[in-house]
Amino acid sequence: MKPLQAIVHNPDWDYAGGGEKVTAVIAGRLVDAGWRVELAGGAALDIPRLERVLNVNLAGCRFRGTSQEWPSALKKLSRLSPRAARFLSGRTAFSFAKGADLLVHITGSVPPLCPARAGLLFVQFPYDPAESIRLTADGSPERWADKDKLARLESWDVRVCPSSFVQEWVRRRWATACEILHPPAEIALCRALSKEQLILTAGRFYATGPTKKHAVMVRAFRELCDTGLHGWKLLVAGGTHPRPDHQQYLEEVRALAEGYPVEVVTDLSFQEILPLYGRAAIYWHATGAGEDETARPELFEQFGMTIVEAMASGAVPVVIGGGGVRDIVRSGTDGFLWQTPDELKSRTLELIRDTQLRTSLSQNAIARAKEFSREAFEARVDRIISEFENRLK
């Protein structure tokens, strides 16, 4: 029997972050299930690099380039009638997947219509408030554009998202239900090593989007040092991007670190960061710090795989209590949630001074992390793939 064909589309493969990890692991499970898989994107893809950075096996996957540019006719139409152009784009943008058995797509905006026989949509977050769908009191679309957006969303057979935080905002902004599919944390590879007086944070050095707020953490650590903390080190790890504003952001973090026991390391492979997780006693995370979650929820963490991986390695999480992070850490049980830099510092000092508390929370963190393992993610994805196979064959 001819194998089923799947196209896994991600417009940002090169970013190699959490969203790319999700789509790459799904692609790998499809290959393992006997599907013929193409990785689709707008720019040439270095598959070996993706495998190395994300710790995935994409053997057998081919790359299919897809132009993100509108055809000239649509460009012209967009000047004459933006509304009509948006409608046509929403109907034709994924024409490259027409005839495929399955299209997998990761998105932060209302997606185009799914032209494949079946569709799996992973919603990172409904980023743009302007895309919000309005409903009347009886639940009907209020505007023509709302009806079109709902039709596009409903053309995807399975819609999933990374956390209850995202699930709630998809409901609010897109009037659409999503199932929760927690992303795949690599906890099977994580090991608690001999703990050092080390605080670790890991996250991309990007100046835009839901930034990792490295400066907030570096300043907090500087203040701890200035008020008497000795012998501890902060290690800031993250991926980089050549775009000038991202590079400037990285340099600003490095400048803040100067003169303090703060080390900034970049572009580590997963194998290189594993021992850092293992040696770290405490793990910090600050995405969303200083932001208003009600007004700008898109600036918060959708989930937090690095937090899970640090917990699996025995590092006690002291992380901001916002966004999808709340699905992971139970404050006072397996780590601490904080809202202000002062609380970040006080909770950290509490752990530094009370080794018994640190040991107890570390053990609880290791147990908690198992609930978000890659194996749990893969088992759920395998069930989804099996349901598609039963329907399509």
pLDDT digits (tens, 9 = 90+) for 102-145: 999 999 999 999 999 999 999 999 999 999 999 999 989 999 89
Q: Is the pLDDT of residue 71 over 70?
A: no
Q: Which domains does the chain have, with CATH numbers?
A: 5-184+374-392 (3.40.50), 187-372 (3.40.50.2000)
Average pLDDT of the chain is: 92
3-state secondary structure of 236: strand
* CB proximity list for 316: less than 8 A, separation 6 or greater: 281, 282, 283, 334, 335, 336, 351, 358, 361, 362, 365
pLDDT reported for residue 2 = 87
Tokens of 260: 């303090």
Distances (CA, A) of 63 to 19, 38, 99: 18, 6, 17
CA atoms of 337 and 350, how far apart (whole Å): 13
Name the nearest CA neighbour of 3 among 37, 34, 40, 32.
34
pLDDT reported for residue 42 = 81
Report phi then psi at 383, rounded to 5.
-65, -40
pLDDT reported for residue 368 = 97
pLDDT reported for residue 334 = 97
CA atoms within 13 A on the CB side of 303: 24
3-state secondary structure of 278: helix
Instruction: Indicate the DSSP class of residue 272.
Output: H
Under a CB-based contact definition with an 8 Å cutoff, are residues 147 and 113 in contact? no
* CB proximity list for 304: less than 8 A, separation 6 or greater: 285, 287, 319, 323, 324, 325, 328
Q: What sign does the CA torsion over 107, 320, 263, 52 have?
A: negative
Q: Residue for token digits 């500087």?
A: 222
Under a CB-based contact definition with an 8 Å cutoff, are residues 284 and 318 in contact? yes
pLDDT reported for residue 1 = 75
> Residue 304 region, left (φ>0) first, then alpha (ψ -120 to 50), else beta?
left
- Which amino acid makes up residue 304? G
Q: Residue for token digits 């900034």?
A: 264
3-state secondary structure of 265: strand
pLDDT band at 54 (very low <50, low <70, confident <90, very high): confident
Name the nearest CA neighbour of 134 among 121, 123, 122, 150.
150
pLDDT reported for residue 75 = 57
Q: Is the pLDDT of residue 213 over 70?
A: yes
**For the chain, where are the alpha helices, taking DSSP H only?**
18-32, 47-54, 72-80, 82-92, 144-154, 164-174, 214-226, 244-257, 270-279, 305-312, 341-353, 355-369, 374-392
pLDDT reported for residue 224 = 98
Which whole number is the average pLDDT over 309-337? 97
How far separated are the first and last CA of the chain, in Å rounded? 9
pLDDT reported for residue 80 = 55
Name the nearest CA neighbour of 19 among 304, 337, 254.
304
CA atoms of 326 and 186, how far apart (whole Å): 19
Q: Is the pLDDT of residue 70 over 80?
A: no
3-state secondary structure of 292: coil
Name the nearest CA neighbour of 212 among 238, 233, 232.
238
pLDDT reported for residue 210 = 85
CA atoms of 172 and 156, how far apart (whole Å): 19
pLDDT reported for residue 82 = 61
CA atoms of 372 and 17, how far apart (whole Å): 17
